[in-house]
Amino acid sequence: MNLGKSNWITFILGTFVASGSAFADAGTQSEQAVRQGGLSSAHASGSAAHAIAASGQATSAIAAVPLASGGVVSAAAGAGSTAVAKDSTRAANQPLEIGDETITAMPPPDQALRNKADKPKNGI
Amino acid sequence: MFRIVRTLLFLLATTTALPAGAIGFSGDSRQGGEASQFAAETIIHFSKKVEKALAAKGARVAILARMGRPPAELPKGMHFTHAGFAVYSEITTRDGRKLPGYAIYNLYQNAASPNTSALVQDYPVDFFAGVAVLEAGIIIPSAELQQRLLAIITSPTYQALHEPRYSAIANPYTLGYQNCTEFVLDVVNAAVYQTDDIRKIKAATKQYFTAQKVNVSPLKLLFGSMFSSEVTLSDQPGEPVTATFESIASYLEKYDQGSESFSVLPDR
């Protein structure tokens, strides 16, 4: 291996950065950037989640409300509980209904194209 | 002389380098940047299998984990790389239908700002979209704890427990930084003790929870913290420790009678 001085500095720094960024989950831009030698390869259109949305096999969701067993949700200390639908038909630990349809948080492509910037909605 | 320096630097670099000690938490697949390891159909099928496993057990609230890295890249004692809450919900689709299913409540690291995080709600197929290995870790708490968790998750306490400063190896015993598993643990203890007082939550954590030692060389951690904003040692007064899915499973197995944990694997 024959590296010039500047390449050595890059190599050393890159290695250290890699050891730190190694703690990031496989999906983060930072980790991808390390993998790509410092060049960010992140493009939202190429992400795994976008690929699933683009497959047309997942239905886009706009809201989810927790379903409470027996319709009883005790309030947390110092906070009032909010937005819990009552599912009084099933007691705790009884099998629950799940359909075969796949739900995603990603908007469909036509909706995403209407947005100025297709960014995921953070927060809940 | 330059040759000696060069050799020392090379040794230093190679001893602190990869294989990446990927404790690896908390990436949001929707933020882009990850190539899918599996076909969309495979992810969809696996996600539905996980949902059905949860539903068959009657789980209203469960802790769900994924593998964002291959096991060979993970430090000893760590297997899953991200965890969040799966909550049985009535989901409204964009075309107005209401379907039963699981919504996932996550603390995700921000891709554009890796030393920060956000609370994000998504669904199983989004959760598993960018995994390296198709394996789901599941903890189903007791019915009592599920009910208390639901009370916290649907209250302002849930957001109040979020510390947006992110460290991949956040110490669960201290304040100042948080990762996805510390957040899960904080919510669990808020539910157990029915409190929103973070001091009480941390006191209980110190007394009863056994954190996972971060099995990465101190040199690697030191340089990681120097050159990567998503790793800090400032909340680690002693030997670095962090919360993991596995340590949370052990905690609940010990103290939450009736809880269970298991894995879901893809069909062979």
Q: Which helix (H) or strand (E) holds B203?
A: helix B198-208
Is B77 a member of any domain? yes
Is B249 a member of any domain? yes
Contact across the interface for A59 and B94, Cβ inside 8 Å: yes
Is B16 a member of any domain? no
Contact across the interface for A63 and B91, Cβ inside 8 Å: yes
Q: Which residue of A has its CA nearest to B40?
A: A52
Of A17-31, B30-44, B107-121, the range with the highest mean pLDDT is: B107-121
Is A67 a member of any domain? yes
A10 at interface of B, judged by CB pairs closer than 8 A: no
The count of domains in chain B is 1
Is B3 a member of any domain? no
By the 8 A CB rule, do B240 and B169 touch? yes
Is B198 a member of any domain? yes
pTM: 0.79
CA quadruple B172, B175, B177, B178: dihedral, nearest 10: 40
* B61/chain A closest Cα distance in angstroms: 9
Q: What is the extent of the structural domain holding A84?
A: 5-40+63-114
pLDDT band at B170 (very low <50, low <70, confident <90, very high): very high
Q: What is the extent of the structural domain holding B205?
A: 23-259
Nearest Cα residue to B159 out of B104, B232, B235, B105: B105
Is A73 a member of any domain? yes
Report the C-alpha gap between B130 and B30 in whole angstroms: 9
By the 8 A CB rule, do B121 and B162 touch? no
Contact across the interface for B196 and A77, Cβ inside 8 Å: yes
Average the pLDDT over A8-28 and give the result: 37
Q: Which residue of B has its CA nearest to A41?
A: B33
What percent of chain A lies above the pLDDT cut of 90?
Answer: 16
- ipTM more than 0.90? no
Q: Is the pLDDT of residue B176 over 90?
A: yes
Is A120 a member of any domain? no
Is B5 a member of any domain? no
What percent of chain B lies above the pLDDT cut of 70?
Answer: 87
Is A27 a member of any domain? yes
Is A47 a member of any domain? no
In this prediction, residue A74 carries a pLDDT of 41
Contact across the interface for A97 and B129, Cβ inside 8 Å: no
Q: How many residues does this entry show for chain B?
A: 268
In this prediction, residue A51 carries a pLDDT of 78
In this prediction, residue A84 carries a pLDDT of 66
- Secondary structure (DSSP) of B98-130: EEEEEEEEEEEE-SSSTTBEEEEEE-HHHHTTT
Q: Dump pLDDT digits (tens) for B178-188.
A: 999 999 999 99
Nearest to A16 among B48, B153, B223 (CB): B223
Is B45 a member of any domain? yes
The count of domains in chain A is 1
By the 8 A CB rule, do A47 and B33 touch? yes
SS3 for B8-43 is HHHHHHHHCCCCCCCCCECECHHHCCCCCCCCHHHH
Is B268 a member of any domain? no
What percent of chain A lies above the pLDDT cut of 70?
Answer: 35
Is A52 a member of any domain? no
